[in-house]
A and B are shown apart, each in its own frame.
Chain A
């Protein structure tokens, strides 16, 4: 890309003067219909979307917070949250890496993140923009060539209203649950992806996303539509720790895999888990669900090491015959982290198949819960499910729990579930230490082996980083 073009791009931003504008429009805490109207107006949304938001808000008011999860946290004051906060202005941001918390930098270092990306992630307000914009623009052109639409959802509402209107809320209905209803009412922004018929997305959307990720706020909304016969791989989040002042995150992700389409959705989540005493940290209450039509395949892979409280159940509705759902998960809770996560596989079509591999690791005072549902509806003839949940315990103050719900309503469907819980075996540790590894390295290696089945499913570069991430997250867990 030519440097003039780049300059131009930078200038455009500057000319718009968005910094001062948005800064002045940050809303005071509290939620009512006016706030929703404000958000909608601020985003210049069509009437139908405002109505949709208001409807969601009204339903949310009638709902109650879920209390079935195996987590405890102080009550959330929904009136104390600001539902529209603008990105931080350039002036508030650190001017260079020297101003960034050295602890954070040390972690970046361990993860092997390149310098310019470190600046990006730490929110340094310097040339980072230069790199990302140039790379991003190249990517954007390549995607355009293939006919792939990939843009912020607020933009898609304007440029592709029919597509958005057709699919928004089609997978996760407005009143699905307390947090999804809240998200529908106040969602800030997020991504929209559309892959046209028969197109294989020319790149992993991860690469692009990782560099171009904007602060989308705490109520993110993602919609991915893969049309017939198309294929896409999407990675959200990144291995680097994110410092975020928003405590509650209630995102919604919807995937639509039309006939013969394939969607692979990978998540690496490393939000602030709170300090070692369990103070602070993010509440991650996310609703993720995909609908797979005939012969389609949806695959969720997640590596969850961050957040103080996690309640997250990426699900597959296997609606079409022969559709496939997969869930591969590594969830780690160290210190005082609590995770209640798992999946739902709803088998509706014939010959549908699902695989669940969940690896939970608890250390310190952490609590890790697998909660999953496998349902074979009466029509799910010859459907097949295999579930494997393994938990690893490190330390005698942690907890590991498994709550699988298994519902068989078709005799020709086969469901198999197995779960094990154990600790890092002393034999294994001894062997590693005898070969010269220190205890911490040895545990890290064993844990990595324990998670291998899941890491294998991640895009290559992230698999390596995810391994390192586990190592970093487990620091201090072995005495």
Chain B
């Protein structure tokens, strides 16, 4: 495999998009395909990817099944993509304060704005994101103005074997406020390469939830990247179930003074699944706060990778940053590789990170059993509680309830 060879632009694209494709492609020239010696891919093998994984020839394989992504009582504006195609019938009209632009039919003014922002939030060293850019044929721009109370949900459903190249650009205008949910689902066997760029202007607030709930056949390499303007605040929640190859990069760049972020996430793996989360808090401006908490439960023969990085640049005075990663191994063959990193170039900061790997404490189990719970029930309860704590932070009660049900059913299916 070779990045350069795979960076094939679609046949027909508007001029501005061709320009972006070329720029993305040029970032891949001479970049070697990652192997075990590539630090960022040390513990995740790309063997599951084959030449077929990049096949975009086949069209839409099936129609979407709305039941699969139904979240009861969640009064959201849904934008539904099935196998990369926007389905108007299944989608809702966007509420006021939100504008939706499809990259393929952006007018000149919109195209100019998109071109000036797209690809600027995702770090240039993310080669799969560059690959996404070089192969980009469509995607969406979401622009938020003012306070948008209704959550906006983007459903990315995959049903077939067609290689998918999702792109999302979110522009939060100054003082705007919104909740955005990205919901990945489907039983497709496709390779999905997704890039979400979230650009938060000064004083804007975004809650971003990204759910990776695809069936375990799908391969996914993607990322959500946020840039925070001055006094912007960002809340993030990630939930990931495993697959043959699943890699999610999350970066939050605190680019404006006084920006804050609160990120949490959970990953649940069983059978021989894999997941790899690379989380990075970049602090380039002073007086920013960031807090990240990720937890994982790894069962059976599954393997998880977590890499959490706090990077404080020279000028980022008065930064406070913490990162926390806890892992539960519930079987003898489960494995986790975790690496919390600190890279700090300023002395006026307060940073901390922590990581743990263990099984459930015998004492906790004993306590519950002494209160009359069976071993199995006590085990499940503790596992559930381990993740449940993070769900309390979700701003939408309906979403939290949905995730709790998902969590419960994951444990019921013998996840632990």
- Report B324-341 residues with CB < 8 Å from chain A CB: 327, 329-341
Name the A residues within 8 Å of B353 (CB-CB).
402, 417-419
Number of A-B contacts (CB under 8 A): 114
Is B351 close to A, CB under 8 A? yes
Which of B17-25, B177-185, B355-363 sits within the interface? B355-363
Beta-carbon contact of A399 and B332 below 8 Å:
no
Which of A5-13, A144-152, A405-413, A434-442 sits within the interface? A405-413
- B375: shortest Cβ distance to chain A, in Å? 15
Is A395 close to B, CB under 8 A? yes
Name the A residues within 8 Å of B10 (CB-CB).
none
Which of A180-188, A285-293, A420-428, A452-460 sits within the interface? A420-428
Please give the number of chain B residues whose Cβ is less than 8 angstroms from any Cβ of chain A in the complex: 35
Beta-carbon contact of B336 and A407 below 8 Å:
yes
Selected from A406, A410, A413, A423, the residue in CB contact (under 8 A) with B349 is: A423
Is A268 close to B, CB under 8 A? no
Beta-carbon contact of A395 and B339 below 8 Å:
no
Is A404 close to B, CB under 8 A? yes
Q: How far is the CA of A408 from the CA of B347 in the complex (A)?
A: 32
Name the A residues within 8 Å of B354 (CB-CB).
416-419
Selected from A68, A376, A393, the residue in CB contact (under 8 A) with B344 is: A393
- A313: shortest Cβ distance to chain B, in Å? 15
Beta-carbon contact of A421 and B332 below 8 Å:
no
Beta-carbon contact of B348 and A396 below 8 Å:
yes
Beta-carbon contact of A420 and B352 below 8 Å:
yes
Beta-carbon contact of A411 and B330 below 8 Å:
yes
Beta-carbon contact of A68 and B39 below 8 Å:
yes
Is A401 close to B, CB under 8 A? yes
Is B342 close to A, CB under 8 A? yes
Selected from A68, A376, A398, A406, the residue in CB contact (under 8 A) with B339 is: A406
Beta-carbon contact of A415 and B357 below 8 Å:
yes
Beta-carbon contact of A422 and B340 below 8 Å:
no
Beta-carbon contact of B356 and A417 below 8 Å:
yes
Q: How far is the CA of A395 from the CA of B314 in the complex (A)?
A: 11
Check A395/B347 contact, CB under 8 A, given A406-B339, A408-B336. Answer: yes
Check A419/B340 contact, CB under 8 A, given A409-B335, A411-B330. Answer: yes
Beta-carbon contact of B337 and A405 below 8 Å:
yes
- B41: shortest Cβ distance to chain A, in Å? 13
Beta-carbon contact of B344 and A421 below 8 Å:
yes
Is B345 close to A, CB under 8 A? yes
Selected from B314, B349, B358, the residue in CB contact (under 8 A) with A422 is: B349
Selected from A396, A400, A406, the residue in CB contact (under 8 A) with B342 is: A400
Q: How far is the CA of A121 from the CA of B198 in the complex (A)?
A: 61
Q: How far is the CA of A394 from the CA of B348 in the complex (A)?
A: 9
Is A378 close to B, CB under 8 A? yes
What string of 1s and 0s marks CB contacts (under 8 Å) between A316-343 and chain B? 0000000000000000000000000000
Beta-carbon contact of A408 and B327 below 8 Å:
yes
Given A411-B334, A421-B350, 16 additional A-B pairs, CB 8 A: A68-B39, A396-B317, A396-B347, A398-B345, A401-B343, A402-B341, A404-B355, A405-B339, A406-B337, A406-B338, A413-B357, A415-B357, A418-B352, A419-B352, A421-B344, A421-B349
Interface residues of B (CB under 8 A from A): 39, 314, 317, 327, 329-359
Interface residues of A (CB under 8 A from B): 68, 70, 376, 378, 391, 393-423
